């Protein structure tokens, strides 16, 4: 699977917004770009895509910036992908030839599995991964 740089940056930005989510306080573009090592000029375009998909809200002014439009637990990774790089989740075309149908079923199964995993993975899970319990003896 090949993930575009744009999609990588979009996911990282969304996770960063999830880490700082309180529903009220936006994260400044420069802070977001710095934390994730993403060029600010490119990040503006990405955040615009996320805003058009109603995943991000922008606020202007001195205390402006970006914040998620919903709680991180309510935003799946699949929604980020649909906003930025929807071709990643497209159904594969039917392959031609004698072996085409067998291959198509494999590609279709992989796409379905990937889609299910992305639908069930939320920004909250990625922003706050559950650590293994540490046992002290």
Residue 7 pLDDT class (50, 70, 90 cuts): very high
What is the value of pTM for the model shown? Answer: 0.85
The fraction of the chain above a pLDDT of 90, given in percent, is 64
Residue 11 maps to a domain: yes
Residue 61 maps to a domain: yes
CATH number of the domain within which 35 lies:
1.10.10.10
Query: Domain range for residue 32?
Result: 5-127
Cα separation, 113 vs 46, in Å, equals 26
Residue 122 maps to a domain: yes
Residue 134 maps to a domain: no
pLDDT tens digits, residue range 101-124?
Answer: 888 888 889 889 999 999 999 999
Residue 136 maps to a domain: no
Residue 102 maps to a domain: yes
Q: Which of 15-19, 73-77, 83-87 has the lowest mean pLDDT?
A: 83-87
Count up the domains in the chain and report the number.
Answer: 1
Rounded alpha-carbon distances, angstroms, from residue 73 to 68, 93, 125, 132, 135: 11, 33, 7, 20, 28
């Amino acid at each position: 699977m090949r993930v575009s740089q744009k999609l990588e940056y979009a996911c990282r930005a969304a996770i960063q917004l999830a880490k700082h989510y309180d529903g009220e306080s936006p994260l400044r573009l420069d802070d977001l770009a710095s934390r994730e090592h993403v060029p600010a000029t490119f990040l503006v375009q990405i955040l615009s895509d996320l805003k058009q998909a109603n995943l991000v809200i922008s606020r202007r002014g001195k205390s402006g910036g970006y914040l998620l439009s919903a709680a991180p637990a309510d935003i799946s990774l699949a929604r980020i992908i649909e906003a930025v790089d929807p071709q990643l989740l497209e159904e594969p075309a039917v392959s031609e030839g004698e072996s085409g149908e067998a291959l198509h079923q494999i590609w279709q199964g992989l796409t379905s599995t990937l889609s299910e995993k992305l639908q069930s993975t939320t920004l909250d899970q990625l922003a706050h991964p559950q650590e293994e319990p540490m046992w002290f003896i």
